[in-house]
Amino acid sequence: MPQAAIKATGLSKWFGEGATRTFAVREVGFEASFGEILYIVGPSGSGKTTLLSVISGILRPNAGSVSIEGTDIWALSDNAIAEFRLKRIGFVFQDFHLFPRLTTAENVAIPLILKKRDWDESIAEAKKYLDIVGLKNRADLPPVKLSGGEQQRVAIARAIVSQPDILIMDEPTASLDGDTGRNIVGFVRNQILNDKRCIVIVTHDARITEFADRILMMEDGRLKSIENGRSHEE
Amino acid sequence: MRGILRIAYKLLVNDGSKFAALLVGITFAVFLMVQMTSLFAGVLNRASATVINVGASMWVMDPGVQTVANSIPMPDYVLDAVRSAEGVKYAVPLYSGNGLVKLADGTYQAVNILGLDDSSLFGRPALVQGSIQDIYAENGFIVVQDSEFHKLENPRIGTEFEINNHRGVMVGIAQVATSGLFGVPTLYTTYSRALQYVPQTNFSISYILVEPKSAAEVAGIKRSVAALGYVALTKDEFMAQISTFYKYQTGLGINLFLMTVMSFVVGLSISGQTFYTFVLENLEKFGALKAIGAKGHELVRMILFQALFTAMTGYGIGVGICSLMIALAKLKVPDYAAMITFTNLALAFFMVLVIAGISSYVGVRKVLRIEPFDIFRG
């Protein structure tokens, strides 16, 4: 049986103590495989962002474990987790979080530079990935000169430039209009997903569920259901 | 430049308005700090002009003397006693006093008169015109060609003048290392002629200039002179005493100190505030870097580099502008007493480092506290 890309077991995360303790995530467990797009959906406050943070090595859970390709990430030191994220996980943030004072290529090259790769080599590599997302001719522009959809593509290029196994996307369509959002996620499905990569997307955008393999429904911090996405119906 | 620092550099300099504001703050502070301390250094240097120009290793004086300009005459026996003291190679008298020169238009100009030992002329200035031997000529005086020279209507060799109702003749034109503080021209003559031309009190020796046989003899000479009821100071000690007087007994030191502190506070306020805003504006981006995998110490290095780069650039520009301003001011106002010393530069450098340290400390705290989770939460 192939190893799970992500295996979450009994995850709980709460904030506050005693009478003020509030559960954001309560006893959640699931597995995600390589070659699939997993959606985490649910209403605001259902715990999907907290769950995303816990499984991506950003927020330490109070209980449970997260195993990525067999590595229990929360057993690692803080620095080792940061190193693990840098090498194995790519992030696409809701607001892109591109540096407006750097060029598009420099933004994309950041993970390589953090990995201490040579500057020129990193920029050259970044330009290849900009080509993949269709923005080769925008390499020397600052992100503020790009449209929202283009900025999202830059963020995706930055997330995949170091060839991570896991791609985490937080509300990738929230800052985009309907068509652009669909195009972006369709592009991710068709161009970025491969059988060595697992993509986890947090969203409450019902228009893009057609690109999901499976959908985790969250409610009040609990995993309400796991359903197959519409891509399975095709 | 390492990649992460290159990112920090680009984030800083590509934000033109913030970078300019940071530079203005640091540059302004450095300019004021260097300007203030240079003025003070210039004043102190000029206050010790006679000590520097005469160049004697040791100076014997009345214990009441605080500055070289205000000598208290000593009796002749002190000179004899010092000459016979153990360890003294030679000792000569120096007269330092003031006179009035009557100019061609009938007006008077105060001058500083230095009377050199007749036999040795110890402490004589370097002549640019004339011969030092001519100082022995009848009524001979040597005038110093400094910023005050023009106040004697630019005399030449052979120019006659009246000083304290006596006839004087310029027999040489000299240059010295440092001009005096009080804005009056300086004339050199022999010790004996100085006594003839300037009204005297009971005693006439202003200072006794001493050359010890060796540096090891200095302490013994001091003890011998102290036993006479007088004080012997090395050149550096005398200059330090003069500095102390101007620092603590004239109000000049405390005023310039306050101005320097204010410059520091102004620089710190502008730079600290701007740098804090700069970090705040990039805080989410730093959080995103942290989420991607940047470690805390890497982000700290980025911020420290930005603060240090700004500080050093501002320091360089500030020192450059200050040097230029002082040079231009000296072209227009030869009396302008400002002098940039290594001590001034080191002090300003240290204060700039403090500004950079305090400014970056706030930013570092912010960046270390940002949680990548906050980026996801928006």
Q: Which residues of A touch B7 (CB under 8 A)?
A: 99, 102, 106, 110, 113
A225: enclosing H helix or E strand: strand A222-228
Q: Measure the CA–CA gap between B152 and B141, rounded to whole angstroms.
A: 13
Residue of A nearest to B288 (CA): A97
Are the C-beta atoms of B242 and B48 separated by less than 8 Å?
yes
Please name the member of A56, A101, A122 whose beta carbon is closest to the beta carbon of B10. Answer: A101
- Does B377 contact chain A (CB < 8 Å)? yes
Please name the member of B284, B292, B372 whose beta carbon is closest to the beta carbon of A110. Answer: B292
Q: Measure the CA–CA gap between B148 and B171, rounded to whole angstroms.
A: 18
Residue B79 has pLDDT above 90, yes or no: yes
Q: Measure the CA–CA gap between B66 and A1, rounded to whole angstroms.
A: 95
Q: Read off the pLDDT band of A215 (50, 70, 90).
A: very high
Q: Number of Cβ pairs closer than 8 Å across A and B?
A: 87
In Å, how far are B27, B72, B182, B216 from B179, measured between CA atoms? Answer: 30, 22, 9, 32
Mean pLDDT, chain A, integer: 88
- Does B259 contact chain A (CB < 8 Å)? no
Please name the member of B10, B14, B284 whose beta carbon is closest to the beta carbon of A97. Answer: B284
At residue B175, φ and ψ (nearest 5 deg) are -125, 145
Taken in order B192, B197, B199, B205, is the CA torsion positive or negative? Answer: negative
**Widest distance between CA atoms in chain A:** 56
Q: Which residues of B touch A99 (CB under 8 A)?
A: 7, 11, 282, 285
Q: Measure the CA–CA gap between B36 and A190, rounded to whole angstroms.
A: 68
Are the C-beta atoms of A108 and A154 separated by less than 8 Å?
yes
Percent of chain A exceeding pLDDT 70 equals: 97
Residue of B nearest to A106 (CA): B7
DSSP annotation string for B358-370 = HHHHHHHHHHHH-
Contact state of B378 with A102 under an 8 Å Cβ cutoff: no
Q: Read off the pLDDT band of B1 (50, 70, 90).
A: low
> pLDDT per residue over B264-285, tens digit each?
888 788 888 888 888 888 888 8
Residue of B nearest to A118 (CA): B3
What count of other Cβ atoms lies within 10 Å of the Cβ of residue B133?
11
Looking only at the bridges linking them, the beta strands covering B186-190 and B140-144 are antiparallel
The two tokens of residue A178 are 């309907």
Which residue is it, tokens 């796991």? A226
> pLDDT per residue over A21-48, tens digit each?
899 999 999 999 999 999 999 988 899 8
The residue type of B65 is V
pLDDT on residue A75: 94
Contact state of A170 with B376 under an 8 Å Cβ cutoff: yes
Residue A2 has pLDDT above 70, yes or no: no
Which of A114, A119, A145 to mutate against chain B (most B CBs within 10 Å)? A114
Cα dihedral angle (B53, B57, B62, B68), rounded to 10 degrees?
20
DSSP annotation string for A92-116 = E-TT----TTS-HHHHHHHHHHHTT
DSSP annotation string for B171-211 = EEEEE-SS--SS---EEEEEHHHHHHHS---S--B-EEEEE
> pLDDT per residue over B127-173, tens digit each?
999 999 999 998 999 999 988 888 988 899 999 888 888 899 999 99
> pLDDT per residue over A45-95, tens digit each?
899 889 999 999 999 999 999 999 889 999 999 889 999 999 999 998 888
Are the C-beta atoms of B291 and B375 separated by less than 8 Å?
yes
Please name the member of B10, B15, B288 whose beta carbon is closest to the beta carbon of A106. Answer: B10
- Does A93 contact chain B (CB < 8 Å)? yes
Residue B71 has pLDDT above 70, yes or no: yes
> pLDDT per residue over B88-98, tens digit each?
999 999 999 98
Contact state of A93 with B291 under an 8 Å Cβ cutoff: yes
Query: Quick one: average pLDDT of A135-148?
Result: 92
What count of other Cβ atoms lies within 10 Å of the Cβ of residue B158?
9
Kindly provide the ipTM of the predicted complex, given to two decimals.
Answer: 0.84
**Widest distance between CA atoms in chain B:** 96
Level-2 CATH architecture, domain A6-232: 3-Layer(aba) Sandwich (3.40)
Q: Tell me the three state secondary structure of residue B280.
A: helix
